[in-house]
């Protein structure tokens, strides 16, 4: 059972921010898909809940050639999955969303809630990092923009200051010949990945790998960039053997947990498979782009 709390339902960002500055101990609730679980488990019992789900101004998807993609923090997973703009310019996001939970959860859970929950098993964060996303954080004092990669601090811990909330995710327009892909190990469709990998590959005009990002979920206490694996690919003409080597390197970099779904050793083996699989798909896309 959830402990008692006081409940606020601001309708604007400004209202939300002033409530946040007034009640330092308050917790934000968006779709509640993750928060309600931890509240029921009494992992913590906030005295105040600020329900931001009604702030419709933060539910949007905008794409402009120059600026790239902007997603409001309160955009539901399902909206991203089904968005024609996203399917056209960032198909990887739609695919990733399609594998999150069930339709019910995707209809109500928000992209901002997912990221702010800070679960290292979450799927969007690695994909956003692979896409070089930035986050816009708002407080009464103003706004700041940080790299998605800097946001995750530890297991269920993110770089939100007291009084601050996430308002927007910003994804730059990818360089030409970029391919991005995501894949994860599921026993059943919609599972949190036992291991997940997001890979982005940029090819130069000669087909050499100019840049690569390899980001893992559920392989450490935060979304993990496999730097050594990335370096292995950069500057080379890629082939299956190199992708497999990248998988091996990423596996060595991973420090995965052990739980009811798999041992750490198994997860390390799976890092090899999923880095290779996601990289192969990313490469294919980069070549086609």
Partner 1 sequence: MAETKSEVFGNFSILGKAIPRVDARAKVTGEAKYAADYEFADMLWGQIKRSPYPHARILNIDTSKAERLPGVKAVTTGKDFGGFKWGWSGPTRDEEPLAVEKVRYLYEGVAAVAAVDEDTANEACDLIEVEYEPLPGVFDVLEAMKPGAPLVHENRPGNICVEYHWNFGDVDKAFAESYLVREDTFQTPRMAKGYLEPPAVVSYWPDSNHVVYIGAKGSPYFPYRLLSRCFNLPLSNVRIITPIIGSDFGGTKNDMTPADYSAVMLAKKTGRPVKIVTSQYDVLTTDLRRHPMWLTVKTGVTKDGILKATYLKAVADGGAYTRMSPLTMMLTGCLTTLPYKLPNYKYDCYNYFTNNPSSAAMRGHGLYHSRFAADVQLDMIAEELGLDPVEIRMKNAIENPEPGKVYTAVNDVHVATCGVQECIEKVAEAVNWKARKGKKKVEGSKAYGMGFAAATYNSGTKLSAHNACAAIIRVCEDGSVNYLTGATDVGQGSDTIMCAIAAEVLGIGLEDIDLKRVDTAFTPVDPGSYGSRVTVLAGQAARNAALDVKQQLLEVAAQQFGVKPEDVEIKNKQVFVKSNPTRNMSWERLVRTACYDTPGKVIIGRGYSTQGISLLGLADFSKGVGDIGTNYSFTAEANEVEVDTETGVVKCTDNSVIAHDCGFPLNTQAVESQVQGGAYHQGIAAAIYEEFKMDSGQTLNANLIDYKRPRAYEAPMTQVIHVLTNDPYGPFGAKEASEGSCCSAPPAIVNAIYNATGVWIKDLPTQPEKVFWALKAKKEEKKGRKKK
Buried b / exposed e over 35-59, threshold 16 CB at 10 Å, is: beeebeeeeeebebbbbbbebeebb
Three-state secondary structure of 236-261? CCCCHHHHHHHHHHHHHHCCCCCECC
Under the criterion CB under 6 A, does residue 192 sit at the interface with ligand FAD?
yes
Query: What kind and span of H or E run contains 87?
Result: helix 84-89
**DSSP, res 32:** -
- As given in the structure block, the two tokens for residue 78 are 């399902």
Under the criterion CB under 8 A, does residue 289 sit at the interface with partner 1?
no
What would the x/- binding string for ligand FAD be over residues 147 to 186, using CB under 6 A? -------------x----xx--------------------
Helix (H, G, I), strand (E, B) or coil at 59: coil
Helix (H, G, I), strand (E, B) or coil at 142: strand
Query: What is the rounded distance in angstroms from the CA atom of residue 205 to the CA atom of residue 252?
Result: 31
Quote the Cα angle for 30-131-111, to 5°. Answer: 10
* 194 interface partner picked from partner 1, ligand FAD, none, CB below 5 to 8 A per type: partner 1
Please identify which residue in 68, 72, 112, 163 interacts with ligand FAD, judged by CB under 6 A. 112
Binding positions for ligand FAD, 7-36, rule CB under 6 A: 27-35
Report how many residues bind partner 1 under the rule CB under 8 A.
Answer: 17
Q: Report the nearest approach of partner 1 to the CB of residue 191 (Å).
A: 8
- As given in the structure block, the two tokens for residue 1 are 């059972």
Q: What are phi and psi of 40, to 5 degrees?
A: -65, -35
Question: Per this entry, what is the length of the chain?
Answer: 289
Under the criterion CB under 8 A, does residue 268 sit at the interface with partner 1?
no
Under the criterion CB under 6 A, does residue 224 sit at the interface with ligand FAD?
no
Under the criterion CB under 8 A, does residue 13 sit at the interface with partner 1?
no
Q: Report the nearest approach of partner 1 to the CB of residue 144 (Å).
A: 34
* 263 interface partner picked from partner 1, ligand FAD, none, CB below 5 to 8 A per type: partner 1
Under the criterion CB under 8 A, does residue 185 sit at the interface with partner 1?
yes
**By the criterion CB under 6 A, which residues form the site for ligand FAD?**
27-35, 52, 73, 77, 100-101, 105, 109-110, 112-114, 116-117, 122-124, 160, 165-166, 190-192
**By the criterion CB under 8 A, which residues form the site for partner 1?**
1, 185-189, 192, 194, 259-263, 266, 269-270, 273
């Amino acid at each position: 059972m959830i402990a008692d709390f006081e409940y606020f339902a601001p309708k604007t960002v400004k209202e939300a921010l002033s409530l946040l500055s007034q009640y330092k101990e308050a917790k934000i609730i968006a779709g509640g898909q993750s928060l309600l679980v931890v509240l029921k488990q009494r992992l913590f019992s906030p005295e105040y809940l600020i329900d931001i789900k009604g702030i419709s101004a933060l539910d949007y998807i905008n794409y402009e050639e120059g600026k790239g993609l902007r997603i409001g923090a309160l955009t539901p997973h399902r909206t991203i999955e089904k968005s024609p703009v996203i399917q056209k310019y960032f198909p990887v996001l739609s695919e990733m969303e399609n594998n999150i939970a069930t339709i019910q959860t995707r209809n109500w859970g928000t992209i901002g809630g997912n990221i702010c929950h800070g679960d290292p098993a979450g799927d969007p964060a690695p994909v956003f990092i692979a896409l070089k996303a930035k986050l816009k954080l708002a407080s009464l004092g103003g706004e700041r923009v940080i790299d998605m990669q800097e946001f995750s601090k530890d297991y269920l811990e993110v770089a939100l200051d007291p009084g601050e909330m996430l308002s927007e995710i910003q994804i730059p327009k990818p360089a030409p010949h970029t391919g991005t892909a995501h894949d994860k190990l599921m026993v059943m469709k919609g599972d949190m990945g036992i291991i997940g990998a997001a890979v982005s590959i940029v090819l130069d005009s000669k087909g050499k790998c100019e840049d690569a990002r390899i980001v893992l979920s559920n392989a450490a206490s935060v979304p993990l960039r496999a730097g050594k694996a990335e370096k292995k690919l950069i500057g080379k003409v890629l082939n299956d053997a190199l992708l497999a080597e990248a998988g091996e390197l990423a596996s060595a970099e991973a420090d995965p947990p052990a739980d009811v779904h798999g041992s750490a050793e198994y997860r390390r083996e799976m890092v090899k498979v999923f880095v290779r699989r996601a990289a192969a798909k990313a490469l294919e896309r980069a070549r086609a782009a």
